[in-house]
Structure 1
Amino acid sequence: MTERMTAADVSFLHRETRTSPQHVGGLALFDPPPAGFDYDRLVRLLEERITLAPRYRQKVRAVPGNVANPMWVDDPSFDITYHVRRSALPRPGTDQQLLDFCARILARRLDRSRPLWEIYLIEGLAGGRVAVVTKTHEAMVGEDGGIDLAQVILDAAPTPRRTVEAIWVPGPEPTALHLLRDAVGGIARRPVALADAARLNARDAAAVVDRVGSLVGNVASVGTALLRRPQHSPLAVSLSEHRRLAVARTRLDDYRRVRETFGGTVNDVVLAVVAGALRGWLLARAEALRPATTVRALVPVSVTDTAADTAAAAVAGDGRADADPLGADVASTGVVRPLLVDLPVGEPNPVLRLAQLRYAMASHKASGRAVGAERLTSLSGFAPPTLHALGARATGGLTRRMFSLVVTNVPGPQFPLYAAGARMTEMFPIQPLADGQALSIALSSYDRGVYFGINGDRDAVADIALLPGLVEESLAELVAAAAEPVAARAAGATGWQDTAAATRAAPGSRRRPPRGGDSPATSPSTTSSKPSRPPEDRT
């Protein structure tokens, strides 16, 4: 079986460099069943179910001369034992040893002469646990029908569902001449495809026209940002080839409690927690933060219409959190688009940070400024592959000017999952780093928990171990605020001293005390509960 790669998939291949591999990772921890969970059991499980994800037995073949997009073709020499690997930690098998190991294997690029994925079974963890680390190239997992191997091997019950290993006969690998002939035929048919796409998008023209006015302001501001000299930021660096990882564990009920008190969505609370953690990290580095300082993040959100939002809220009852554990902004269905969000890291009051983010997210949703991602993909498909490569590389070079980091969250099931009888206890997503950006934050909810995977450049973020504690501290501030009596919250921000500052100022602490202007008592923004206007000062 052969299939032409989409424009989006090709862009991921061209975006990849020696220092910025473009594969998504995952770290899952399991409690083995009494019968055990070993390498042979994992290989058998994958052999039985890999038919459900046929892309994982295909590799990429380039077209001679790059006259068309590469092809997905069956790998006639597919060897599952090459992709499923085994390792073990030395005693005592701590979490830090596991993270160091994961950082090393996730920093390495995948072999493009083979299917673009790997799975590692890691034994020797303390407490008899085992870990499974996955690496899957972003070109393998698309928006339309993309399946990850984690979906294939996991079951909702300890007893695995019955599957039968299907007989697989790889299709003949096309020759270079066949690939070239097929590409030339596709070019000849391209005018017809262009006319079909034009008709398909004509019905969207009227809807796009009435958005042009609002889009002009955004385009102008983005253009100004690109022309302006970027400010110094510890998040904008030249990447090395090595990584550091950190993970944080929080409880979903805490986010819901904050949402029920202050309104908004669970996703708003998540962003407020991330903003608070980044604030503490920047202060620990003695970065000067004014009340108006922000960090611009790229946050993928789903594009839904008002009717769909209303229906989801009606089904969920109070909230969005029951239908979507991480809020209504990220959904398992619908078109996902990137959204630029300014995280108010200069605001010392956690409640006001949340209020500003609620206001910003509500404004984005109300504006309706969205063009479906599938439309953009279909239009970009008419550009020659060479232009796709140049466009992807140019975009990668501009990211440090447009946003400082990526924050992704994905709702997961709120019940335990199993792999061959082994219960998965925790799951941490790992997002790749964009070229020139030192940090990425990914999180996922699972079985009443919210798990953060934090990926950083090894040289630029040597203090990444601070971030998990700062995430927990930032959430604890909001939970404490939600527990305050209404009268105390209405009295103002005088009781909201930055608890992170106290920790940093403690004797023997590695963190430095905050600079002037960081105290809520001296910050002008703490004298009003109204969200401030989007500031200009970005880190």
Structure 2
Amino acid sequence: MTGLDASFLYLETPEQMMVINGLVHLDVTTVEEGYSFERLRSGLARRVKAVPPFRRKVHDSPWNPGHPAWVEDFDFDITHHLRRIELGPAGTEDELLETCGRLASTPLDRAHPLWQIWILERGDPHAPTVSAFCRVHHSVIDGMLGAELLSALAATDATTPDQDPALARTHVGRANTLQLIAGGARDVLGRPLALLRLLPETLSVPAAMRRARGRAGHGESMPAPFTAPRTLFNHSLTPHRAVATVSLDLASVKLVTARLGGTVNDVLLTVVGGAVRSYLEAHGDSPTSSMVAIVPMSTRDDLATGGANQVSAMFASLATDVADPVERYERISAAAETTKRQAASIRPALLDNWARMGPRRLLDMGMRAYEALRLADVHPVIYNLIVSNVPGPRHALYFLGARITHMHPFGPLLHGAGLSVTSLSTDGRLDLGVISCEHLVPDPDAVARGITAALDELLELTAS
């Protein structure tokens, strides 16, 4: 296991679950032989055999000085991972989202492979409306890999895809504690030399970012961490989560970029900023300075660590101190090139290299102390919220014969930032998932509605 993958295990606490969730709506009328939960479970059991990451579990030892390892779960049981909840004939969308919030509030069992799928049925029992709430630990996937694994489980038509026998035969073997300890010891012995290489490069990062800012020539510099204003959702988390969903027409989003320039990501940051600004104004908590989002960036094309997580991040201003949506968009778009250049000036593997160096026991105990002392309420705010945009498949997908109509992703929350918005582009739309700490933002649906309203306003103002 790489240091970056393992760090998501160390960061996890009872109130900070490092799980990526997703709500997938299914049209089961496309299933040729008809839908049944039992048939779906049998089909998934066959498909998972060709997805090695879903058959592996964490192996560790108190004597291991290094990071844990992935081992094959030869006692894999699909009934532990695929479960059903029947919401009944009167089940509503609100009940569905409330159920998803409760499921997102529970940790995954590390004694098994770190994923689950909950099938949620509502309406007519003989022809139910079916959704799947998928949960995968962040140590297993990042956003890009999650989309790839979903594609591996799905197909481009309603037929059952052929199983790849080579993937089905791929496994990493049984747990070997002596081998684990020896590998951990080798890793620790190599850290001093690695530290000598990392320190000069890390100390040179500020100068590299200044040079990148100079080459960009215009636009605001990337916001610095610990400079974000404190808002009502920038406090310590509780274990309880609430979720909401919204879908945006991708053609409408691209219409804004055609009129104003910029990118789809610029539109996303603008409408999320507008929605959060409106939400805080309604609660009398609108900050005078701009809020700051952290935006994950895939390094999958630049980095080959062999780990599941190949990701970096950049800080981005949401320009929430600007009332006019068009002016806010132009400011975000102008800063984007500078911010990307500054983020690109940092070697993609640097974060992963430092994660490998992390003393695991210290990180684990430090995170628990940080949570117990509620330090996120004390130190300056690092960032206000997470905004992530994940490219998905451009065509329709079928999950075990059922057409996927919507896929709404939800990223994990970290102490100090109780709100996250994740977007997945697929089949001509952006499917967004809004997840919050229920005690900080009990009504994420208000933020979701605000996103739609912000896009409508942007379209109206740029129509002339």
Instruction: Provide the TM-score with structure 1 as the length reference.
Output: 0.73
- Which of 103, 106, 125 is equivalent to 2:104? 106
Distance 1:351 1:184, change over 3 A: closer
SS in 1 for 2:462: helix
Distance 2:398 2:391 in 1: 18
1:203/1:148 Cα in 2 relative to 1: closer, same or farther (>3 Å)? same
8 Å Cα contact 1:63/1:183 also seen in 2: no
Partner of 1:62: 60
Provide structure 2 residue ranges, at least 5 long, that are not aligned to the other structure. Answer: 215-219, 303-308
Distance 2:328 2:366 in 1: 35
Structure 1 position 301 matched with structure 2 position 312: no
Do structure 1's residue 402 and structure 2's residue 399 form an aligned pair? no
After TM superposition, give the deviation of residue 289 of structure 1 in Å: 4.9
Contact 1:7 1:388 in 2 (8 A): no
1:434 paired residue among 386, 403, 414: 414
- In structure 1, the partner of 2:180 is 179
Which structure would you say has the larger RCO, counting Cα contacts within 8 Å and 6 or more residues apart? 2
* DSSP-derived class of the 1:365 partner: helix
| Correspondent of 1:45 among 43, 46, 54 | 43
Contact kept in structure 1, 2:27 and 2:405, CA below 8 Å: yes
Matched, 1:337 2:312: yes
Corresponding residue for residue 261 of structure 1: 259
Contact 1:427 / 1:444 at 8 angstroms: preserved in 2? yes
More deviation, 166-175/396-405: 166-175
Tell me the residue number matched to 1:355.
Answer: 330
**Separation (CA, whole Å) in 2 of partners of 1:408 and 1:143:** 9
Q: 1:52 to 1:168 in 2, by over 3 A?
A: closer
Residue 450 (str. 1) matches residue 430 (str. 2): yes
Give the Cα–Cα distance (whole angstroms) in 1 for the partners of residues 46 and 158 of structure 2: 17
Q: Is the 8 A contact 2:230 2:287 kept in 1?
A: no
Q: Does 1:373 align with 2:369?
A: no
User: Which amino acid is 2:312 matched to?
Assistant: R
1:131 matched to 2:106? The reply is no
Instruction: Determine the structure 1 residue equivalent to 2:339.
Output: 364
User: Against the structure 1 CA distance between its residues 221 and 158, is the aligned structure 2 distance closer, same or farther, given a 3 Å change threshold?
Assistant: closer
Structure 1 residue matching 2:253: 3-state secondary structure: helix
* Correspondence 1:26 to 2:22: yes
Offset, 1:388: 4.4
Q: In the alignment, what sits opposite 2:217?
A: none
Q: CA deviation at 1:367?
A: 4.2
Q: Which moved more, 1:241-250 or 1:125-134?
A: 125-134
Matches within 5 A, 1:251-330: 251-290=249-288, 293-302=289-298
TM-score (norm 2): 0.84
| Partners of 1:193 and 1:233 in 2: CA distance | 42
Does structure 1 retain, via aligned residues, the 8 Å contact 2:16–2:413? yes
Alignment of 1:156-195 (within 5 A): 156-163=156-163, 173-174=174-175, 176-187=177-188, 190=190, 194=194
Q: Aligned to 1:89, what secondary structure does the other structure show?
A: strand
**Does the Cα contact within 8 Å between 2:436 and 2:444 map onto a contact in 1?**
yes
Deviation per residue, 1:15-69 (Å, 9 max, x gap) = 1111111000110101112532332232222222223321222211223234111
The higher radius of gyration belongs to 1
**Counterpart for residue 238 of structure 2:** 240
Instruction: Indicate conservation of the 8 Å contact 2:121/2:130, yes or no.
Output: yes
Per-residue CA shift, 1:314-361, capped at 9, x if unaligned? xxxxxxxxxxxxxxxxxxxx9642111121223221100101101111
Q: 1:247·1:468 contact (CA, 8 Å) conserved in 2?
A: yes
Q: Given that residues 415 and 446 in structure 1 are in contact (C-alpha distance below 8 angstroms), is that contact kept between their aligned partners in structure 2?
A: yes
**Matched residues in 1 for 2:93 and 2:16: separation?**
25
1:140 and 2:140 equivalent?
Answer: yes
Unaligned ranges ≥5, structure 1: 309-333, 485-539
- Cα shift readout 1:493-533 (whole Å, capped 9, x = no counterpart): xxxxxxxxxxxxxxxxxxxxxxxxxxxxxxxxxxxxxxxxx
Displacement after TM superposition at 1:158 (Å): 1.8
Cα 1:118–1:156 shift into 2, 3 Å: same
- Residue pairs, 1:409-420, within 5 angstroms: 409-420=389-400
Comparing 30-39 with 378-387, greater Cα deviation is found at 378-387
Following TM superposition, by how much is the alpha carbon of 1:150 offset from its aligned partner in structure 2, in angstroms?
2.0
- Residue 82 of structure 2 corresponds to 84
Q: Cα offset for 1:466? A: 1.4
> What RMSD in Å do the two structures reach over aligned CA positions?
3.7
Alpha-carbon deviations, 1:463-517, whole Å to 9, x = none?
3221222111100011112211xxxxxxxxxxxxxxxxxxxxxxxxxxxxxxxxx
Give 2:208's aligned amino acid.
Answer: R
Question: How much has 1:10 moved relative to structure 2?
Answer: 1.5
Q: CA deviation at 1:245?
A: 0.9
Could you tell me which amino acid in structure 1 is paired with residue 11 of structure 2? R
Aligned CA distance change for structure 1 residues 143 and 23 (closer, same or farther; 3 Å) = closer
Q: Distance in 1 between matches of 2:267 and 2:396?
A: 24
